[in-house]
């Protein structure tokens, strides 16, 4: 792209030098290897036909490079034995170095089956399949309804369990779980470290993932961004243009239309379900305070807590009716991106309850499955470790019955006793292991876990049972979800609804 123009100039120059046929064969082979590797790993066109051509050219470059290296090393008649030895040794070392560098990115390009499969392979629910199974009027019969259910296709909004029913089922499930299975619900998996501080999701995984427990019928949680549509990851992890780009939450708020917000949220939920995800990381309902906040566009409340409360509740109902968990975020007072990991939002109780809490309170009353705690500090303490914020206000006074997940790398201590239930994404940045790892939790619990130790798993499972996630087929991250992640979830109906919503 043009943003990499300096690097592009260098690579075009190297290509011209390579084409000039003036370089020794070994050097030309190394240069061809480099250009092939760079083009294959870092620069990929979006269009499918161009992407396929790009892959062919990249692999051809790599093949020519390897051939040139070995021919230059083994077949050269120039120089003595020492020269030939150097010609063999240097390319060999460079090839070994390239191979070593390719080991770490391997999981990004090639899906692997690492997690236990949580039941039968699910059918990818595309708009075409949905249309075939979900005919209206006379087209809807008992047979088509049974076929839709067997295929895992939802034709109508699901009926959620009550919290009481879901919590009773969760308690029965937890009683059958090992500590490792229980702790697996509390920690994300599926990311890999590439070196130099770069981490990425593995092929076939989502932005957040948990380990399934097949013997108890517990599927993996598969978390994806965000409130204005399914965010396809960069190639090779995703395919651009395969989900609808909906208006931002702030644009939707300007419609002042609860019915429209609910319709759009339901459509987004259907696309998430088709992509294999069962957790939508939205709605973001933070009330604006700083006009220059870089995330104001995704905060549905604008500057009005009543507006955020009404629309946030409608959004939750729309998404969760499609069998996908909604996540209200970012709790709380996430008012600026500048120094977002360290700045403290200092708020008194009256301001909190009158201005900033009402949108979250409305999503709790709407039955939101999860709440995400924020990066910033609250009155000096990081939000995800703030017992007053999470345990006293959210779970206590607001009566929240779902689970609290951390924002990505927002946890700075083993704080499950302070109100956070799940750490995402589960790969540490600074510490040698995640804060909510099995080893750390096992050490803190001892041989007899208390009710507070069981609480995170109980809350997570209650949310899963309430949305009936254990009753439907679900792909398992890795190869099992690769097809769903690449599926095209756009439809003529959604392509028509999106501009209508934007114009409202």
Catalytic residue IDs: 407
Element containing residue 259 per DSSP (H, E): helix 258-274
Using DSSP's 3-state secondary structure scheme, residue 441 falls into helix
- Specify which residues 422 forms β-bridges with: 405
State the SS3 of 302-348.
CCCHHHHHHHHHHHHHHHHCCCCEEEEEEECCCCCCCCCCCCEECCC
End-to-end CA distance of the chain: 35
| Closest alpha carbon to 460 in 167, 216, 207 | 167
- Specify which residues 201 forms β-bridges with: 191
The conformational region for residue 483 under phi > 0 = left, psi -120 to 50 = alpha, else beta, is alpha
Quick check: 298 and 226 in contact, CB under 8 A? yes
The whole-angstrom separation of Cα 319 and Cα 227 is 10
Quick check: 433 and 471 in contact, CB under 8 A? no
What does each C-alpha distance from 201 to 180, 300, 387 come to in angstroms?
Answer: 22, 28, 30
Regarding beta strands 191-195 and 198-201, do their DSSP bridges make them parallel or antiparallel, or are they unpaired? antiparallel
Helix 258-274 and helix 305-320: axis angle, to 10°? 40
Q: Angle at the Cα of 319 (from 456 to 396), degrees rounded to 5?
A: 35
Quick check: 438 and 204 in contact, CB under 8 A? no
Element containing residue 155 per DSSP (H, E): none
């Amino acid at each position: 792209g043009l943003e990499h123009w300096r690097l592009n100039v260098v690579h075009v120059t190297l290509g011209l030098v390579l084409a000039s046929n003036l370089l020794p064969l070994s050097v030309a082979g190394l240069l061809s290897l480099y250009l092939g590797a760079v083009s294959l790993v870092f620069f990929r066109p979006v269009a499918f036909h161009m992407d396929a051509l790009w892959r062919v050219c990249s692999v051809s470059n790599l093949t020519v490079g390897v051939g040139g290296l070995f021919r230059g090393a083994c077949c050269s008649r120039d120089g003595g034995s020492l020269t030939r030895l150097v010609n063999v040794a240097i390319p060999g070392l460079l090839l070994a170095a390239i191979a070593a560098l390719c080991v770490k990115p391997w999981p990004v390009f090639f899906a692997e089956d690492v997690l236990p499969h949580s039941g039968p392979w699910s059918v990818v629910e595309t708009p075409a399949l949905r249309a075939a199974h979900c005919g209206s009027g006379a087209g809807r019969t008992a047979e088509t309804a049974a076929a839709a259910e067997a295929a895992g296709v939802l034709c109508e909004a699901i009926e959620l369990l009550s919290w009481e029913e879901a919590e009773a089922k969760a308690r029965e499930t937890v009683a059958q779980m090992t500590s490792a299975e229980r702790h697996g619900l509390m920690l994300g998996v599926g990311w890999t470290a590439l070196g130099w501080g770069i981490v990425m999701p593995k092929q076939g995984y989502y932005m957040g993932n948990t380990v399934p427990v097949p013997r108890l019928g517990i599927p993996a949680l598969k978390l994806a961004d965000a409130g204005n549509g399914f965010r396809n990851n960069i190639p090779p992890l995703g395919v651009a243009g395969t989900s609808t780009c909906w208006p931002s939450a702030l644009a939707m708020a300007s419609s002042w239309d609860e019915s429209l917000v609910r319709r759009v949220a339901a459509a987004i939920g259907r696309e998430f379900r088709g992509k294999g995800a069962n957790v939508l990381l939205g709605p973001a309902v933070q009330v604006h305070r700083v006009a220059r906040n870089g995330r104001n566009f995704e905060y549905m409340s604008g500057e009005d807590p009543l507006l955020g409360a009404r629309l946030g509740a409608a959004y939750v109902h729309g998404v969760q009716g499609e069998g996908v968990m909604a996540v209200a975020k970012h709790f709380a007072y996430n008012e600026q991106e500048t120094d977002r990991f360290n700045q403290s939002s200092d708020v008194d109780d009256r301001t909190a309850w009158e201005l900033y809490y009402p949108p979250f309170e409305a999503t709790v009353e709407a039955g939101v499955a999860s709440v995400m705690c924020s990066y910033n500090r609250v009155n000096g303490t990081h939000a995800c470790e703030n017992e007053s914020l999470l345990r006293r206000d959210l779970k206590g006074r607001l009566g929240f019955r779902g689970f609290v997940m951390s924002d990505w790398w927002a946890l700075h201590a083993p704080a499950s006793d302070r109100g956070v239930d799940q750490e995402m994404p589960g790969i540490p940045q600074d510490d040698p292991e995640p804060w909510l790892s099995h080893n750390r939790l096992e050490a803190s619990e001892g041989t007899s876990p208390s009710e507070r130790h069981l609480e995170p798993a109980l809350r997570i499972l209650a949310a899963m049972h309430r949305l009936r996630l254990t009753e439907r087929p679900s792909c398992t991250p890795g190869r099992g979800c690769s097809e769903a992640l690449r599926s095209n979830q756009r439809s003529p109906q959604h392509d028509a609804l999106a501009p209508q919503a934007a114009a409202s």
